[in-house]
Amino acid sequence: MSKKKRKRVKEPESPIAGFIRRHPKLGRRLGITAALAVAALAFWFVADPLGGGLTAIDENGEEVRAGIIDGEPNAKARTGRPAPNFLLPDYERQAVRLDQFQGKVVFINFWASWCGPCEREMPFIQQVAEQFPDDVVVLALNRGESKGIATGWTRSRNFREDLPNFYWLLDARESVFREYQRGSGMPQSYFIDRNGIVRDTIARGMEYDEMLIIVQSTINASVSSPPNN
């Protein structure tokens, strides 16, 4: 006797599967949308687009707003004038204020990951910090990028993060850069004397020898001496 073939019982189709089968284009679009949403969430958590750029944690453990502080409206950084005071977070979100370095020469450098000359001069800037550990503080301000992008750039190039007089800071909303900037070119550097006066500004990349000359001049400057032009 021949065996009769059993008919396979078809499983009932779910409403969602049926909808997708009847509307294949819409199903693909939903899949693409879901993938984009997952990618956006991954970027948010990994790259940290705010990068701690809006607030920082002060010495009391309290959250404080980042940006220009204690200054007059539109008080731009200009040679011979007091440098606009600011507070920004470092890579660990700890608050760093410009005025905490009164009595030191401060070398402010604005940089960005897309700036080729920034990458070229950064080793020279770190050499300056190493050469003047007692007299000079370097504040390296990332301009307008996330914490993830900034730290990725720094660490992929093996720049030092352990120098006690060198601070990597995040100016995510460019609030400080707007008060300091000279045009839109990058990098931009500002040399501030022991009394908080802007002594020199450079709106381009520099060589090591040029940095040394300006830093030494700023170290020797006093309130009564004329600032560099």
Whether residue 36 is found in the same domain as residue 83: no
Whether residue 112 is found in the same domain as residue 37: no
- Give the number of domains in the chain: 2
Whether residue 155 is found in the same domain as residue 85: yes
Instruction: Check residue 188 and give its pLDDT.
Output: 98
Instruction: Check residue 47 and give its pLDDT.
Output: 44
Q: What is the CATH number of the domain that holds 206?
A: 3.40.30.10
Whether residue 43 is found in the same domain as residue 94: no
Instruction: Check residue 73 and give its pLDDT.
Output: 58
How do strand 198-202 and strand 136-143 relate by DSSP bridges?
Answer: unpaired
Whether residue 226 lies inside any domain: the answer is no
How do strand 67-68 and strand 86-89 relate by DSSP bridges?
Answer: antiparallel
Whether residue 40 lies inside any domain: the answer is yes
What's the sign of the alpha-carbon dihedral 218, 115, 139, 155? negative
Alpha carbon of 56 to those of 87, 97, 212, 218: distances in Å?
Answer: 8, 11, 32, 30
Instruction: Check residue 71 and give its pLDDT.
Output: 64
pLDDT, mean of each 10-residue run, the chain (229 residues): 56 68 67 60 43 78 91 76 96 97 97 97 98 97 97 97 97 95 93 96 96 96 55
Instruction: Check residue 162 and give its pLDDT.
Output: 96
